[in-house]
Amino acid sequence: MIRLRHKLFIYILRLFDQALLISVLLLTVDLVGRYHNTGSLPFLLKTHYNPRATVGLFLLVVLWAWAFSLLVHYETNRLKTLKSQLVDVTKATVAAAFLLLIVSTVFSYRRIGNEVVLIFWGVTWSLGMASRLVLRQILILVRRSGYNFRHMIILGSNPRAYEMARRIEAQPELGYKLMGFISEHANDSDSNLPTGTKHQVIGHIHEMKSILEDSPVDEIIICIPILEQFSTICEAIRLAQELGVVVRLFPEEADAKILSRFQLERFEGNYVVTLFREQLLMQLLAKRLMDIFVSSALIVLLSPLLLGIALAVKFSSPGPVLFVQNRVGMNKRSFKLFKFRSMFIDAEKRRKELVHLNEMDGPVFKIKNDPRVTAIGRIIRKTSMDELPQLFNVLTGHMSLVGPRPPLLEEVNRYDWLYRKRLSIKPGITCLWQISGRNEVTFKEWMEMDKFYIDNWSFWFDLKILFKTVPAVLFRKGAS
């Protein structure tokens, strides 16, 4: 029954968010139209209605629902802090405004310009924030009055279990009543509990079934080492599921990273547990769609600049406009990387005689004042404009806008084992290294940045890096 009420609450919250987005959009279009005397919304519907507009609006609503389900963690609402809820709202409303901009461009909605999109985002963000604050205050008042609470037991009698108990006791607004600890050790007793702990060991792991049968337990938090006591945890989860009790895991950080990458699949009627990188299918789809849309748009918008650079390269020194080189991509697949040529045509031949000038540690070769670079090359390298042809690599799918920089095969062959993880995702035009000083960081720091990016990847992380790339390029941070 509690689970059913929770699902109903989540469903209503989802509907509220979608209704808010649609209402704000329609109201914004109406008010902006009235302000500029271009027609109110009823007037526009009466004189400019067409089925294509309806299709676009339907698509937009579907995309909004998808974005909010991706970015707003509805299911974990009870344990979310106010800060994390507000961060979710910010992410989701930015995505909603971005999707509105894309759909209005594709469907040629002339009434939805930058002004409408900006107002739409400001209002949805403000109302979204306000709704979460109001809802949170209502729930706090209700829970402090003794309603909407859940009985919880903690499986574990160890420092992590006691820390979880302390956190729950310190936040009564979460709506939990802690009943006590179930010990994973047969000889544990209350005498082993730390001073100040308000709750007792109510039983041991072998007594868990009878405890669940005899006590009004709504949730169990498991605070024992997952990989060390996997069979014990599986049995606890099985018992809880049979009785409809919610189970939450509070793992060590190392265990959490491994668990987050499991996916259960079916093969020939059998279950297969697959270990993935920490990447979600929908976020990967969003990343690819962004790559296609942004690279296509930039190629069109920057075409005069691309032509100008091409002519400057062609007439400043003999040789081709583009420098084409084999690089190593995702899962060690080779592809041809495009750059504007910034060096003289004999640059590769002269590399051996300049090895002693290499300023980068590790297998990478970099010289701050490389004598092989042409006059035009120094300018386009300093401003990173030599990388612009890689937009075509992004469009074809060999690269992404964001990802580790694609290495040479000879560099990969000299990698330490741990550094090869950077080949597990698509290489990118920009990355953490690109926005963190580039040539001012050591090779080891560079590799650690790439590893951090892979381990913590999300679509939102990509957007943050893209936004930080703009000032890094404009102020030429670390470029040479």
The verdict on 288 and 224 lying in the same domain is no
The pTM of the full predicted model, rounded to 2 decimals, is 0.56
Of 259, 290, 311, the domain-final residue: 259
Instruction: Look at residue 291 and tell me if it is in a domain.
Output: yes
Helices (H), 170-251: 208-214, 230-242
Pair (94, 168) in one structural domain: no
Strand order of the sheet with strand 246-249? Answer: 201-204, 176-183, 150-155, 219-222, 246-249
Same domain? 135 vs 241: no
Pair (34, 50) in one structural domain = yes
Are 121 and 196 in the same domain? no
Asked if the structure places residue 480 within a domain, the reply is no
CATH number at residue 208: 3.40.50.720
Domain boundary, last residue among 99, 129, 144: 144
Residues 282 and 16: their CA atoms lie apart, in Å, by 23
Q: Are residues 322 and 237 in the same domain?
A: no
Q: For residues 89 and 129, is the Cβ–Cβ distance under 8 A?
A: yes
130 in the same domain as 229: no
> Running along the chain, 480 residues long, what does each successive block of 10 average in pLDDT?
68 90 89 78 65 81 87 71 84 91 82 87 94 86 79 87 85 82 71 63 84 84 83 86 83 69 73 64 84 93 94 91 92 92 80 67 71 87 90 95 92 83 90 80 86 87 90 67
Assess if residue 267 is contained within a domain. Answer: no
pLDDT of amino acid 276: 60
Residue 270 domain flag: no
Tell me which residue range forms the domain holding 187. 150-259
479 domain-assigned? no
Number of domains in the chain: 3
pLDDT score for 257: 67
Residue 276 lies in a domain: no
> DSSP string spanning 21-59?
HHHHHHHHHHHHHHHTTS--HHHHHHHH--HHHHHHHHH
Tell me, yes or no, whether 140 and 208 share the same domain.
no
Domain membership flag for residue 377: yes
CA triplet 403, 409, 411: central angle to 5 degrees?
A: 80
User: Which pLDDT score, from 0 to 100, does residue 278 have?
Assistant: 46
Domain end among 94, 119, 144: 144
Q: Is residue 265 part of a domain?
A: no
Task: Indicate if 79 and 194 belong to the same structural domain.
Answer: no
